[in-house]
Structure formats: C-alpha cells, structure tokens
Chains A and B, each alone.
Chain A
Amino acid sequence: MSQNRAGTLPPPGQLIPLEIDESAVGLSNLFTLSIGRKWLMAIMGLVWCAFIVLHLIGNLLIYLGPTEYNDYSEHLTGLGPYLWIAEAVFVLALLVHLVLSIVVTLQNWAARPVKYRVDKKKGGRTIMSSTMIWTGLVVLVFVVLHLVSLKFGEVGLRDEKKDFHGAVIALFQNGGYALWYVLATWVLGLHVSHGLQSSLRTLGLNNRRIEPKLKAVSAAFGWIVAVGYSSIPIWAYLFLGA
C-alpha cells in the first residue's frame, strides 16, 4: 500500500492526488490500516494489563503464608475448562500484540531510511517510549521461560495438592534465577509504564484535562508492576534462605 517516492520526484509545482477508496474500510480489514493495527494492539495490550493485575494479586498471596497460597493455586487449577479458555484468550492476545508490534516497528524503521547523525530529544521521548519493541521482546522471552519453569516444569502448577508455596521459594534460592526474575519484571514495568498510556491514547481516551493524569497513572502502574512482582524473588532469596 505504500508508495516509494525516494529518488523519483514529481516535477516542480506538480501535485498528484492519490487514488483513495475509503468505502471498504470496516472492522474486518481494520488491521490493514495504521490506526486499526494500533487499535488492536492497544486492546490486546490492555487485556494483558488486566492479566498482569490479576496475576500480581494472586502472587502477593504468597506473603500470607503456605495455606492461603496453596489454596489459591489449587482453586485456580480446579477451574479446569474455564482456566483453559482464559489462558487461550491471553495467549491469542499476546500473539496478536506481538505480530502487530513487529509489523508496526518494521514499518516505522522503513519510514526513516536515512538516520540522523545527531539525534536528541526535545521533551517527549523517554527510555520507555523508545525501547518498546526491545522491552516487549524481553518480556516475551520471560513469559516463555516462566511458563516452562512454573507451569509446565517440575514445580509446575498442573499437579494438584502440591506445596506450590514451598516450590516457588525453593526456586528463588538460586541467586541467578531470582535476579533474572527481578530484571525481567522491571523491564515489564518499563514496558507497561509507556504502554498503558499509549494504548489509552490510541483508543482515543485523552483530552487536556486527563492528559497530565494519564502519564502519572501510567507511570504509577509501571512502578506497581515492577516493585510488586520483583518483591517476591527478592524476599524469597534474602529472607527465606536455608
């Protein structure tokens, strides 16, 4: 759909109107257009923000003690088909978010074939906003490894009537493993601190009144995610060692 104009300039003073047919645009082909792709990405991102909140609340039950935590994990696995449906929704959302983000990023790189020699921000850019694709890929690797070890692995959540509390704490006695969890969850915090406000803007939720709050809320969400999740490996490693 793109028109490469590099090197081929129309004659001076000449303006060529583009041939545009907007009549076919609808929900079924929304992803073929820039805002449509980002709209889907935003919704999938928000689905994952919801997951992150639910998962964090569940995780923090670990501080209440083995009984409460094991009851929670048992209850969760006991949901059976309902859990599978929810899992399928989250996996699908992640895949759509991932594929669209790669498409969008490649297009964005292509839009600037010659880079600047000097590139300096003027106020808008942040570490978070300029590294979304990289923080996102780190989170992807983390999610896969996390599922392998804590869902499908030896200490997996699949077996019922198991001391999941003890298994998690045992896992974080490995310093390197605990450190990787801390780093990965902080990267997740960076990702969502830009992602939350960006997705809300993409969905059109912004005006001059909401604007300053939007950034603050999004930053606070990032901090809660980073501190909340990483507190568990830090606590387990530092205070529950043998």
Chain B
Amino acid sequence: MSDHMRITLRFWRQKGPDDKGHFETHRVDDVSPHQSFLEMLDQLNDALLKEGKEPLAFDSDCREGICGTCGFVINGQAHGPLRGVTVCQLHMRNFRDGDVITVEPWRARPFPVVKDLIVDKRAFDQILMAGGYISVKTGSAPDANAIPISRKDAEEAFDAAACIGCGACVAACKNASAMLFVSAKVAHLAYLPQGRPERKRRALRMMIAHEMLGFGNCTNESECEAACPKEISVKNISLLNREFTRAALTQTA
C-alpha cells in the first residue's frame, strides 16, 4: 500500500520505579494511517520481540475512550494533538510519513513510573477514598424521580461526572496539579441533593489528600481543560474553590 507511513518513535524506557530511565529510538515501517496509536505501538512491540528485545510497556484497557486506563504524552501533549480524545482514539492519520514522535509517561511526583509508559495512578484512588463518595444505604434502587433535580443541575453534574480519571489534567498542568480531577469529583456530587450533606467534609478532605500526595497548586492557566479527553470545564475548579473556602470558613463557626 502506498499510503503506508514510516514513523520514528523516541520513547521512554524505565525498568522500574527506582530506575533512572532513558529514551530509546526505534523506527516503525509500514504504519497504516487507519491504525490507532496503540495499534502502532502493538506493531512496534512485535518488531521489538522479533529482535529479542523487551516490548514497550504501556497501559490500555477498553480502547474506546471510556475507561481512563491509557494515556501518555505524545510530542509534549497529553493524549496527543487532538482535543477531546484519549490516546486509544487517536489515529495515525493525524501524523505524517517520516515523523519523529516523542512518547513520554505522565510526569508528576504523585504518579511514579511503574515501567516505561505506565505510571501508578493510585493517588487518584486515595483522593477519592478521602471523600469522593456519598454515604447512603445501598441495596434496592431508589424510585426514579423520587428526588426532583432540575435539568440544568443534572446536566452540570453529568458533565463533571464524565471524568474518567485518566490523569491527563495532571500531566498537562505545568504545576502537576490535580485540581481539575478533584473539582470534577466534587462538582458531580455538589450539584445533586444527595451530595449536599457531606459537601464540607468532602471538599476539605479531598483537597488535603491532594496536597499530602504532592500534587501542585492550580494557577488557573486552563491547560488541563484543553488536554482533558472528556473536556471537563475549569469552571468546576472555581466551584471547588467556592466549596473549599466555604467549608473552611464555616465548619468551625
């Protein structure tokens, strides 16, 4: 096929969390523009295995952009050049024959590299464990529409709940701050009546966890919003600021 491309990949190699890591370069011939980026990496790994080398380790699961497992930095951009997509939904047609592509893992102190492009994102789970939930009796499902919620609030809550926890906001932020993630998790509950009883506790505890884990401070440059595959709005960060400050100033009063 004449439309096939030749891509030079410069990718991050790191044996484990304690290894210093380095870049390695490998050419991938015969790349179809219809392939996804991850399929191209599968092809790279086939070639590496044939050469007797260790394949490149990267995370992926659903490969349809909804699970939040995949993600790394492509040519300096989290999830690559397109807006509103994860790496698994990025196709090689967005690159040109002869391109040199640099691939790096998310870089943040709370996201240590496990191997190559795989980082440990359990810091996100620890933030959720600190307060990103509601305490209710589970069991039988509640009646639909038993609690009236306005269409506007439902839409806002749903937009925030679209966060898949991929970590691109942290990767793209120059301060490695996870405020967009925390704000999405705070907002999707803050808009709903079920989230209100624990709102003070939630905002305070999640932000304290955010800081304990070593994420940076938000400086409102909105690069996270641009990098987010689910296009979560930074207005959620303003909402988180409101929730946090209100909680801090009123909980002891």
Interface residues, chain A, with chain B CB atoms under 8 Å away: 1-10, 15-18, 20, 22-23, 25-27, 30, 33-39, 104, 107-108, 110-126, 129-130, 132, 194, 197-198, 201-208, 211
Set of chain A residues within 8 Å of B184, measured between Cβ atoms? none
Determine if B194 is an interface residue (Cβ-Cβ < 8 Å): no
Q: What 10 new A-B contacts, CB under 8 Å, besides A25-B208, A114-B107, A201-B238?
A: A9-B120, A20-B130, A22-B208, A22-B251, A38-B218, A104-B219, A107-B216, A108-B175, A194-B221, A208-B235
A34: chain B residues at CB < 8 Å are 207, 210-211, 217-218
CB proximity to A under 8 Å, residues B188-217: 201, 204-205, 207-217
Q: Are B245 and A39 in contact (CB under 8 A)?
A: yes
8 contacts across the A-B interface (CB closer than 8 A): A3-B213, A5-B112, A5-B123, A9-B120, A112-B175, A122-B227, A124-B221, A194-B220
> Which 4 pairs, one residue from A and one from B, show the smallest C-beta to C-beta distance?
A123-B226, A120-B76, A204-B242, A124-B222
User: Which among B21, B219, B242 has the highest number of chain A CB atoms within 10 Å?
Assistant: B219
Q: Which one of A30, A117, A123 lies within 8 Å of B248 (CB-CB)?
A: A30
Is B83's CB within 8 Å of the partner chain A?
yes
Query: Which of B83, B227, B251 sits near A25, CB closer than 8 Å?
Result: B251
Secondary structure at the B interface, as helix, strand, loop or mixed, is: mixed
A104 to chain B, nearest CB (A): 5
The reply to whether B220 and A115 contact each other, CB–CB distance below 8 Å, is no
Residue of B nearest to A200 (CB): B238
Shortest distance in angstroms between A113's beta carbon and chain B's nearest beta carbon?
6
Determine whether the beta carbon of B238 is less than 8 Å from that of A104.
no
Q: Is the CB of A125 within 8 A of B221?
A: yes
A6 to chain B minimum Cβ distance, whole angstroms, is 5
Q: Which residues of B contact A119 (CB under 8 A)?
A: 76
Instruction: Give the distance in Å from the alpha carbon of A110 to the alpha carbon of B239 in the complex.
Output: 26
Min Cβ gap B208→A in Å is 5
> B220–A3 contact, CB under 8 A?
no
Please list the residues of chain B having a beta carbon within 8 angstroms of any beta carbon in chain A: 10, 17-18, 21, 23, 73, 75-78, 81, 83, 102, 104, 107-110, 112, 114, 120, 122-123, 125-126, 129-130, 172, 174-177, 201, 204-205, 207-227, 233-235, 237-242, 244-245, 247-249, 251-252
On chain B, the residues within 8 Å of A27 by CB distance are: 248-249
Question: How far in angstroms is the closest Cβ of chain B from A14?
Answer: 8
Query: Across the interface, do A202 and B241 meet the contact criterion of CB distance under 8 Å?
Result: yes
Residues in B neighbouring A15, C-beta threshold 8 A: 122, 125-126, 129
Nearest residue in A to B213 (C-beta to C-beta)? A3
Bound-state CA distance A202–B240 (Å) is 9
Choice from B23, B130, B224 contacting A18 with Cβ under 8 Å = B130
Q: Chain A residues with Cβ under 8 A from B83's Cβ?
A: 122-123
B210's nearest neighbour on chain A, judged by CB, is A34
Query: Could you say which residues of chain B place their CB within 8 Å of the CB of A4?
Result: 109, 214
In the bound complex, residues from chain A placing their C-beta under 8 Å from that of B204 are 22, 25
Closest to B81 in A: A122
Contact A26–B220 (Cβ < 8 Å): no
**A108 touching B129 by the CB < 8 A rule?**
no
Q: Are B75 and A118 in contact (CB under 8 A)?
A: yes
A27 and B220 CA atoms in complex are apart in Å by 23
CB distance from A48 to the nearest CB of B (A): 17
Query: Which of B104, B123, B214, B226 is within 8 Å of A122, CB to CB?
Result: B226
User: Which single member of B130, B208, B224, B239 contacts A33 (CB below 8 Å)?
Assistant: B208
